[in-house]
A and B are shown apart, each in its own frame.
Chain A
Amino acid sequence: MSNIHSAFENGKAFVAFITCGDPDLETTAAAVRAAAENGADLIELGIPFSDPTAEGPVIQGANLRALNGGITTDKIFDFVEELRTDVKIPMVFMTYANVVFSYGAEEFISTCQRVGIDGLILPDLPYEEKDEFQPLCSRYGVDLISLIAPTSENRIAMIAKEAEGFIYVVSSLGVTGTRSEIKTDLASIVKVIRENTSVPCAIGFGISTPEQAKKMADISDGAIVGSAIIKLLEKYGKDAPKYVGEYVKSMKDALR
Chain B
Amino acid sequence: MSLLAIDNLSLHFGGVRAVEDVSFRVEPQEVFTLIGPNGAGKTSIFNLISRIYDAHAGRIAFEGRDITAIAPHEVAQRGIARTFQNVELFEHATVLENLLLGRHVRFRTRLPFELLFTPSVRAEERAHREKVEEVIDFLELQHYRDSRTGNLPYGVRKVVELGRALASGPKLLLLDEPSSGLNTEETEEMSFWIEDITQELGITVLMIEHDMALVREVSDRVLALNYGRIIAAGDVESVQAHPEVVRAYLGE
Chains A and B belong together in one complex: no
